[in-house]
Structure 1
Amino acid sequence: MSYVLLVLTTLFWSGNFVISRGMHAEIPPFSLAFWRWVAAFAILSFFAVKHLWRERELAKKHYRFICIQGLVGVAGFNTLIYLAMQTTTAINAVLVNSCIPVLIAVCSWVFYREMMTVRQCFGVLVSLSGVVLIISRGELAHLLAVSFNQGDLLVLFAALLWAIYSANLKRYPQGLHPMAYQSGIVLFGVLVLVPFYGYELVSGKAMQVSVASVGTILYVALFASVLAFIFWNRAVRTVGANKAGPFIHLMPVFSTILAVIFLGEKIQSYHLQGIVMIFIGIAMTTFRVGRREARG
C-alpha cells in the first residue's frame, strides 16, 4: 500500500510542476505558495485540526520538530520551486529535482548514519538514467543543449530542503496523530509565508483572480498539498526515506503520460526505454533479494 501512495504522490506533484510553470505569469510565487497552504489548511480544518487541538500538549512537546518540518517542507520547498518557475523551464526543474533521491541518501547518512546498499545505489543510478533519457529525448545533443540558470539553483536548494524534510521523518514523534502533524506543519508554514506574501503585495504583484487561477489553487491545495503530503509522510515512515526517494523519478513518466493524454503528444521509443529504466531502478531500491539482505 505504501508504494501505491508514493506513486499517487508523484502523480500529484507532476501536475504541480506543470501548472506552476504554466500559471507563473498570472500567480506570483509567494501568492501561489501562500494561498495554496491557506486553502490546504481550510481543507484540513474539516477533519484534521481537531486532532491537533486534542493532542496540543504532545504537539507542544515536539514543537521544534513540527516547526522545522513546516519551515523546510511547507514554506521552504514549494516556495523555492515557484520562485524557480519564474526563470526556468519545467524540464530543467524536473531534471534538477531528480537529484532528490541522492540528497535523501546523503541526509539520511549525515543525520542518522543510514546507508544505502550497493544494490540500492545502483538502482538510483538506473532510474536517474531513465529520467535523463526521457528529458534528452534519447539524444546526447538535446541534453547538452539544456542550459541552467539561477532558477535551477533554486530548484537544487529546494531539493535539498525536501531531502532534509524526508530524512527528518525518522524523528516523527511517537503517538502524534498524522492529521495533527499535518495541520501543525501547514499552520506554521502559513505563518512563515505571511510576511513574504505581504511584501509581494506591497511590491505591486498580486494574483489575477480567474477561473484558471482559482482552479490552480484548488488543485495544488487538495492534491499536491493535502493528499500528497499525507501519502508521502505515511509511506516514508513505513518504508524509509531511502526507499521512497527514487519514486521521485516517476515525475517525468507522469509528465509524459499527461502530455500524451491532454496535449495530444505522441509517445516515442525513448519514452518507453526511459520508463522501463525508471521502473527497474525503483524495483532495485525497493524490493529485497537474497538471504543476506533479508536478514538485514
Structure 2
Amino acid sequence: MKEKITAGINRDKKRFKAGLPYVLLVIAPLCWAGNVVLARGVADIIPPVSLAFLRWTIAFIILLPFVWKRAKQDWGLVILHWKIMIFLSLTGISLFNVLLYTAVHTTTAINCALIQAAMPATIILISVMLFNDKINRIQVAGVSLCVIGAALVVLRGKFSNFLSLSFTQGDLLMIVAVVFYALYSAFLRNRPKIHPLSFLVYTFGIGAFFLLPFYLWEMIFSNAYEMNKNVVFSILYVATFPSIVAYFSWNRGIEMIGANRGGLFINLIPVFASLMAIIWLNESLM
C-alpha cells in the first residue's frame, strides 16, 4: 500500500514539474497584458521614462531585502559576467519598457499587444541566426501564424492596404521594442548561473540605473504630474505584477523549456490585453 501511495505521489510530482513551466509562461503574459493596458490608461498622466524608472526602482527596493544574502553570494559571478548582465538589463528592462510606454501615447493598447505577436518569430529568428538553433514544424507553424497576425494588425485587416502602408509612431516604436525584448529572451541562455531572484534584482537595479539620467531630464523639462491615488496604484502595480511576478515567471519558464518553445506564449499577451482594453479602455480591435 505504501509503495502505491509513494508511486502516486511521485507521479503527481512529475506531472507538476512537467506542467510548471507552462503555468509560469501563462502568468507572465497575463501580467504583461495588464502592464500594456495600464500604461495606455495613464499615458496622459505619467511620462514614459518616469513610469519605467519608478517601476524598476520600486521593484528593486521591494525585492532586495528578500534576496540580499543570495545577491551578495552571487556578486562575484555578476562581476565576472558584467557584459551580458548589462546587455540583458538594457534590452529587457530599460529599452523595451521605455519604448512600450512611449508607444502607447500614439497607438492603442490593443495594437501594442498585437504587434507583440511577432515576438516569438523574432526570438526564433535571432536564436537560429546567432545560436544555430533548430526549429521543428510546430514552431514553423507558430512563427507563420505570428507573422500573419502581426501583418493583419499593421495592415488593419486589409491586405490591400499594403500598397499604401504607413505606420503610426507608436507602431514603429513597438516594433523596435519587440526586437529588443526578443534579443533579451534569446540571450537569457547566456546569463550567469545565479539564483533567479538574484538575477532579477541585479537586472532591475542596472536597468533603473541606466534610466536615472533620462528620468532626471524628464522631471526637469517635462510637465510635473500629481502623485495622487491613481498614480501611486499604477506605479505599484507595474512594480510588482509585470515586474517581479512576470519576469520571475518568464525567466524561469524560459530556462526550463527554452526560448523557442517558451517564446510562443507571448501570443497570449494580445488575447489578454485585447480583452482588458475592450473592457476598461473601450478600445476596439479595428
* Partner residue, 1:47: 66
- Give the drift of 1:257: 3.8
Matched ranges for 1:257-296 at <5 A: 257-258=275-276
Aligned length: 265
Q: Mark the CA change 1:11 to 1:213 in structure 2 (over 3 Å): closer, same or farther.
A: same
The runs of 5 or more residues in structure 1 that have no matched partner are 267-296
1:150 deviates by: 1.6
2:227 is aligned to: 209
Establish whether residue 234 from structure 1 lines up as the match of residue 252 from structure 2. yes
Q: Are 2:94 and 2:210, in contact at CA under 8 Å, matched by a contact in 1?
A: yes
Residue by residue, what CA displacement relative to the aligned partner does 1:106-125 show, whole Å, maximum 9, x if unpaired? 11112211132122111232
Report the alpha carbon displacement of residue 134 of structure 1 after superposing the two structures with TM: 9.2
Give the CA deviation at 1:90. 1.4
C-alpha contact 1:131 1:249 (8 A) present in aligned 2 = no
SS of equivalent to 2:66:
coil
Output the CA distance in 1 between the equivalents of 2:60 and 2:162: 40
Shift of 1:208: 2.4
**Aligned match of 1:254:** 272
In structure 1, the partner of 2:4 is none
2:200 aligned partner: 182
TM-score of the aligned structures, taking structure 2 as reference length: 0.83
TM-score normalized by structure 1?
A: 0.81
Once superposed, what is the RMSD of the aligned Cα atoms? 2.7
Which range is displaced more, 196-205 or 13-22? 196-205
User: Which deviates the most, 221-230 or 203-212?
Assistant: 203-212
Q: Please tell me whether residue 243 in structure 1 is matched to residue 285 in structure 2.
A: no
Structure 1 residues 38 and 112 mapped into 2: Cα distance closer, same or farther (>3 Å)? same
* In 2: Cα distance, 1:131 partner to 1:154 partner: 14
Match 1:198 to one of 216, 220, 223: 216
Q: Structure 1 residue 95: deviation in Å?
A: 2.4
Structure 1 distance, partners of 2:161, 2:36, is 21
Does the residue aligned with 1:98 lie in a helix, a strand or coil? helix
Unmatched 5+ residue regions in structure 2? 1-19
The 8 Å contact of residues 113 and 274 in structure 2, kept in 1 or not, is answered as no
Percent identity, aligned pairs only, is: 39
Match of residue 16 from structure 2: none
Q: Which residue is equivalent to 1:222?
A: 240
**Which residue of 112, 134, 138 corresponds with 1:119?**
138
